[in-house]
Chain A
C-alpha cells in the first residue's frame, strides 16, 4: 500500500527466511544414517510497516508468525533476507550489533504475562532496567529514576506504589500492563506485540487492547501485532497479513481483507470465526489440519485443504501478485477462477 505515503516505511522486511535445524544429535544421525532435518519456519516473507500504523500477522499455530516477530527484534537471526528499519539494514546479527541505537527503538510485548516478568525482581526494578541499561537518565539520580518508573506505571493504569511489589502479587492483566510499562521504558517507537492478550480473559483483553490503542495515539507508536484471533486483529489493525506454513499468503488493509478476502485460506479462517449474533449458524468447517512443517506439501502449501486446488497448485509455488488494497499469492486468483465471497460477516 503505497498510495499516499511517499516517505520510506518504518520497517521493510524482504524475503525473510528462517530455518531451524531440528535434526537428531550428530552421533545419532551418523549411527542411524539419517540426514539433517530442517524446518522452514519462515519461508520468504515480505512486508512493510509505515510509521504510526498497526500491522497484524494472523495464522494458526506453527505458521511462523511468532518467528517473524522474534526475527525482527533480533531474538533470532534470519537465515536469509533483509530487515530494514528506517533505511538501516539490521537483518544479520553483525549488522544489528553495529546499531544499538536502533535496537533501543524497538521493544517487544510477550504472550505469557506469567513468564515474561522475572519473578525475583521487584516491579520497579523490572521497569527501570531498560532505562538503566540504555543510560537514558544517566546522572539524574535515583529519585528521578523512581519518578520515571512511577510515571510509566501511571501511564499503563497502575499506581506508582506498585513499583515495590513483586510480579506474583498481580493478576494476569496487571502483569501485562507491567510488561507494557517495561517495553515503554526505553522510549521505543516500534513495538512488536506477540499475542499480547491471548492468555487473558475477555474483559481484561478489552482493557489491554484499549490501553494499547491509547498509547499508540498518545505516543505515536508503530505496532507489529501477532495474533491468532481474527476478531482482535480486526479491531486493532490498519493492515493485516495472513500466514500459512511460513509464507505470507495474503495481506491487505483491514477493511479490504475482512470484506473481500481473496486467498482461500483467509476465507476459511474468516468462515471459522464463531459469530455471536447468529446462533445456530452452520459454519462451513474446513476439512483437514495444518500439515507438519517438517514435511510441507509441494507447490502451494495450502493445496491439500483448498477447495480450489488444481494440478498447478500441487506443483508450483504461487507468486505474490498485487491485489486491491494489498497482495495475494494464489493461482486461483491469478487464473480468475475464484468464486465470489459471500459477504455474510460484514453486516
Chain B
C-alpha cells in the first residue's frame, strides 16, 4: 500500500499551502525562534551522542579539571568549551543533559496538565449544571494560589510522606505532577469556554438527533474543534513549566544535584558567582533564558496565526 506516502505528501502539500505556514515564512523572528528551539531539542535529546563529555560518568571525571574557565578565556582548555564546574564536569555537557531533564519535565508536566484540563473542561462544558459549577469552583480556588506555591506544597507533602531519600528517587515524577496540577486550570477554562460555544452549534445538534450518546459527541465532535487554543496554551505553558521547574530546582525543592536540570545547575553555580567562576551559573542561566524566550515567541506567533481576527 502506497497510502502512507500519499498521505504524507498530501499532508505536506496542505501544510505548505496553509495560512499558518505562510505566516511562519513571513516572520524572520519566528523562524529564528523555531531554529533555536529545534537546536535545543536536538542538543538535549541527543545529549548521550552529541555531548563532548559525560558529566555523570564518575570514572571520566577528573578533579584536576575543576574550575576551568571557558576555552577563549586565559587558562581555558579547548576540550571544555564553556569551562568546567567544581567537580571538573564540562559545562556544555551539563547544559545539554540539564536541558534534557528540563524539557522532559516540562513536556510531561504540560501533557499531564493538558490531559487533566481538557478532560475536566470538556466534562464541565458539555455536562453543565452542578458538575460544571463544581469543577469551575475548584478551578477558581486553585487559581487563587500561585502555581509555584502549589508545586512547593505538593513537593513538600510528598517529601514529608516519603522521606528525603525515597523522595530523591521519585523527585522527577513528583515534580511533573506538581507542576501539572498547578497549570490544568487554564486548559480547563479555555476548553470549557470553547465547548460552550461549540455545543450549541448545529453540527452537535445534528449528532444528537442522529441519537449518538453524549460522551461520543463530546469526544468525536466537540473535542477536535476546541483543540486550536489548547495548542497555543500548551506551547506557552511549556516555557512556563520549564521556568517553574527551574525555579523549584533553584530553590532546592526540585531535582537533586545527582539528576540536575537547568535550574539545579544555576543553583549549584550561584555559590561560585562571587568567587570569580561566573561561567558555572551564567551559561546554564543564559541557556534557560534563550530556550524560554524562543518557545514563548513561538507560542505568541502560534496564537496570532491561529486567530483569524488578529491577522
Are A and B direct contacts in the complex by CB distance below 8 Å? yes
Quick one: which of B203, B208, B212, B224 contacts A117, CB cutoff 8 A? B203
**SS of B interface (majority):** helix
**List of B residues within 8 angstroms of A115 by Cβ:** 201-203
Q: Which of B207, B208, B209, B224 has the most CB of A within 10 A?
A: B209
Contact A112:B205 (CB < 8 A) given known A130-B210, A186-B210: no
Residues of chain B whose beta carbon lies under 8 Å from any beta carbon of chain A: 201-203, 205-212, 221, 224-225
A312 to B211, CA, bound (A): 46
A208 to B205, CA, bound (A): 21
- Fill in one digit per residue for A71-102: 1 if any B CB lies within 8 Å of its CB, else 0: 00111000000000000000000000000100
**List of A residues within 8 angstroms of B210 by Cβ:** 107, 129-130, 133-134, 186
Quick one: which of B205, B211, B212, B221 contacts A110, CB cutoff 8 A? B205
The answer to whether A75 touches B205, judged by C-beta atoms less than 8 angstroms apart, is yes
- Among residues of B, the one whose C-beta sits closest to the C-beta of A100 is B211
Quick one: which of A73, A118, A119, A120 contacts B209, CB cutoff 8 A? A73
The answer to the question of A116 belonging to the interface, with a C-beta cut-off of 8 Å to chain B, is yes
Q: How many A-B residue pairs have CB under 8 A?
A: 52
B164 to chain A, nearest CB (A): 46
A118 to B207, CA, bound (A): 10
A73 to B208, CA, bound (A): 9
8 A–B contacts, CB within 8 A, in A order: A110-B205, A111-B202, A116-B206, A118-B207, A118-B224, A120-B225, A129-B212, A134-B210
**List of B residues within 8 angstroms of A129 by Cβ:** 207, 210, 212
A186 to B212, CA, bound (A): 13
**List of A residues within 8 angstroms of B211 by Cβ:** 100, 103-104, 133-134
The answer to the question of A182 belonging to the interface, with a C-beta cut-off of 8 Å to chain B, is yes
Category for how many chain A residues contact B = 20 to 34
The answer to whether B203 touches A133, judged by C-beta atoms less than 8 angstroms apart, is no
A179 to B224, CA, bound (A): 20
A27 to chain B, nearest CB (A): 10
A96 to B207, CA, bound (A): 16
B210 to chain A, nearest CB (A): 5
- Among residues of B, the one whose C-beta sits closest to the C-beta of A104 is B211
Seed contacts A133-B210, A134-B210; 12 additional CB < 8 Å A-B pairs: A70-B205, A75-B209, A100-B211, A108-B205, A108-B206, A116-B205, A118-B207, A118-B221, A118-B225, A119-B203, A129-B212, A186-B210
B106 to chain A, nearest CB (A): 28
**List of A residues within 8 angstroms of B205 by Cβ:** 70, 75, 108, 110, 116
- Among residues of A, the one whose C-beta sits closest to the C-beta of B213 is A133
Quick one: which of B212, B221, B224, B225 contacts A133, CB cutoff 8 A? B212
Please list the 7 inter-chain residue pairs (A to B) with the smallest Cβ-Cβ separation, ordered nearest first: A116-B202, A110-B202, A120-B224, A118-B203, A115-B202, A115-B201, A130-B210
The answer to whether B221 touches A75, judged by C-beta atoms less than 8 angstroms apart, is no
